[in-house]
Amino acid sequence: MQLFPCPFCGPRDETEFHYGGDAGNARPDGADVPIERWANYLHMRGNPKGVAREVWVHMNCSEFFVMERDTVTHEVLSSTALDGGHAQ
């Protein structure tokens, strides 16, 4: 059981969280966005082995935040509220 630090609720069990995707995956708007760009946004992923920046949601409080963690060791490096507030 990993412990993830919700910026609002503090360290909580991993089962309370839901993975939301790569951080910084900006959405291109418009019906005429080049399809490659749209597919890139919709499907392509960094999926790094090692340090990753990801969006997560703490389902208990519904708040989304950015978490940095190591996808191999599972060490959590930081978590940041979307509005810039830091946890811990």
Catalog residues that contact other proteins under the rule CB under 8 A: 1-3, 13-15, 17-20, 27-31, 33, 35-36, 38-40, 42-49, 52, 54-55, 57, 59, 62-64, 71-74, 82-83
Residues 1, 15: Cα–Cα separation, whole Å: 8
Residues 70, 77 contacting (CB under 8 angstroms): yes
Among residues 67, 12, 21, the alpha carbon closest in space to that of 1 is found at 12
Q: How far is the CB of 57 from other proteins (least distance, A)?
A: 7
Q: How far is the CB of 58 from other proteins (least distance, A)?
A: 11
Residues 68, 71: Cα–Cα separation, whole Å: 9
Q: Which is nearer to other proteins, 62 or 88 (CB)?
A: 62
